[in-house]
Structure 1
């Protein structure tokens, strides 16, 4: 093994993982000094939000159930107004990336402590990254102010997650680890975490798709998502995430589904020039061609494999490529507009991923 130089940083966070861990929420809120918590959810998870309010008892100030995909800034401002109205001194988010994103947006503006309770495999709960959308553009920023203080992973809360969302959410998490493997600041620790996160999810998703109530499969998937989220929080992302942010913010495409469609095509483009990342992913997915393996996994489990099926117009391919190269992320291969347009064309059509 060659001697290398690297920098590895860790993030300050507290994680409760297991079955029934939601019951520890009141103690976690008390530990953070939260006496009047604003609970956050999407409209569809308002019932779960109300259950959290009940669990908090007198320390629950109320519920804001208006979280929306891609964290629109107008929704964040509405939620902050609710914080002021109720005199809330902390936020508790239950749900997926939309709700967790809203909690982060509030923390950015108020510096209030957060407890987040993920019910999907999004992974953003362990990152200091916030993506907000305004006027059709999604902007990503990094700040420790948005890193949740406590994350409660309760496997029981994922048992009712529909299989379709479980699969796309899991593929979204895999994208975090896959791009971490070729990040400029990847360390050996992050590489090991990323490989194990992908391995856990690739193994768990078919099992939970076959038996959604399989607690062991759900636990493996949630642990894999946590590991992949750690990667997202520790190193920078690349072309795949840039494209998904552009597509989500500009065309309002569903977040997890967009990741599941785009990832194999970006990997086919990038992995040719990063052999170590390719080898690690190949081990994790059990296939010499990780891009093809992930495309086939998505198709086999019923996830969308084309941007067209998500409602993106074919005419948007050129616009998305132009927006992507305007503010590129670090990437193993250059941000070349024609190449990116071809990647997006293949993703739009649902073609097999191929090397450009």
Structure 2
């Protein structure tokens, strides 16, 4: 029997390749904004200029830093107040959207988000900031962008390597949503369809980086992933990556892309039905009497090999010396809903495997200690 409460966040979504300037101009008029602050890093500036061609921003802000350090957020907030800003327009990836959210959290100024990656932050009411090597996250409807403008043309700026990392970050939203604290049949359905779209789209992008149809399919999947994640909440995967990013300053997308298969291998044996459905969504359903968990892990491993995905945390500066502190922090944050009981031993094993890029198998957490 089904028994759950599901919340769908209210948000306007405009999707159309090459239509960002048209859509943004219409949204600025619709919300009645007169003093717009555009948040975009130096790298994102040309895309932001394209998107804002039909409006006259009152302020440009380009100090964007990964993991949103509190001091950076405070400077951006002060500038928004000083210039009497009434609308935030963020054009960029997750760090750019995250900074806009930090400003909105303190000021209540609405956001229109124009994503240029597959990060998905634009579709959630989750914020995150880092202070003293600790990343803190929270949920507040003030940070949910009122409108998201998707223009797949902007994702062409992502090289294949970054497209893969960003897309697998989105896939992590899907997979974590299968067993996160507020997982339910609705967000699981969104997550599985998001997984299908991301797997198909990313394979197309890897084969031809200029394939706009593949870019659109990937962006569509990233949105579904974010909607599922916004409803289901943060699971074990995100708790691990927040520790690795906030405490050890590892790069966001690459860290998510690297850790994802190890968390799937850790949890999948305890949720065979979900594992079976995920394997099918990823395009490699369990064959015959194949174990469902192993099928899901192999499906993800195959996709990652096709994409040339990141495979080892050691490549991004993490070392074995950091594992004890990371394990301690993860165990304090892991949600009670996780399908497998986390322990010092098995989380150490997970991080050690991810550190060295050991090929994940569904026996990673064996013996399974299901809740």
TM over 0.5: yes
Contact 1:292 1:352 in 2 (8 A): no
Residues 264, 297 of structure 2: 8 Å contact kept: yes
Choose which of 312, 325, 332 in structure 1 pairs with 2:339: 332
Partner residue of 2:357? 350
Q: 1:282 aligns with which of 276, 279, 289?
A: 279
Q: Distance in 2 between matches of 1:186 and 1:323?
A: 23
Q: What does residue 8 of structure 1 align with?
A: 6
1:185 Cα offset (Å): 2.5
Deviation of the 1:320 alpha carbon: 0.6
Q: Equivalent residue of 1:315, what SS?
A: helix
Query: Which segment drifts farther, 309-318 or 284-293?
Result: 284-293
- 1:163 equivalent in alignment to 2:160: yes
Distance 1:52 1:230, change over 3 A: same
User: What is the alpha-carbon distance in structure 2 between the residues aligned to residue 282 and residue 145 of structure 1?
Assistant: 36
Aligned equivalent of 2:70: 73
Is the alpha carbon distance of 1:51 and 1:18 closer, same or farther for their aligned partners in structure 2, counting shifts above 3 Å?
closer
Paired position in structure 2 for 1:30 = 29
In the other structure, the counterpart of 2:321 is 315
How far off its partner does 1:52 sit? 4.1
Cα deviation, residue 204, structure 1: 1.1
Q: Which runs of 5+ in 1 are unaligned?
A: none
- Does 108-117 or 271-280 show the bigger shift? 271-280
CA–CA separation in structure 1 for the residues paired with 2:190 and 2:212: 22
SS at match of 1:55: coil
Higher mean alpha-carbon deviation, 248-257 vs 24-33, is at: 24-33
> Which range is displaced more, 198-207 or 78-87?
78-87
Q: Give 1:135's aligned residue.
A: 132
More displaced 10-residue stretch of structure 1: 107-116 or 299-308:
299-308
Task: Report the CA distance between 1:146 and its aligned residue.
Answer: 0.8
Alignment map for 1:127-276 (pairs within 5 Å): 127-276=124-273
Matches of 1:124 and 1:291, distance apart in 2? 26
Residue in structure 1 matching 2:96, options 96, 99, 117: 99
2: CA distance, partners of 1:322 / 1:195: 31
Q: Aligned partners of 1:279, 1:269: CA distance in 2, in Å?
A: 15
Q: CA deviation at 1:211?
A: 0.8
Q: Which is worse superposed, 275-284 or 293-302? A: 293-302
Does the 8 A contact of 1:69 with 1:98 survive in 2? Answer: yes
User: How many residues are aligned here?
Assistant: 352
Q: Normalization by structure 2: what TM-score? A: 0.92
| Equivalent position to 1:302, from 305, 308, 313 | 308
Aligned residues of 1:264 and 1:292 also touching (Cα < 8 A): no
Question: What is the root-mean-square deviation in Å for CA atoms of aligned residues?
Answer: 1.4
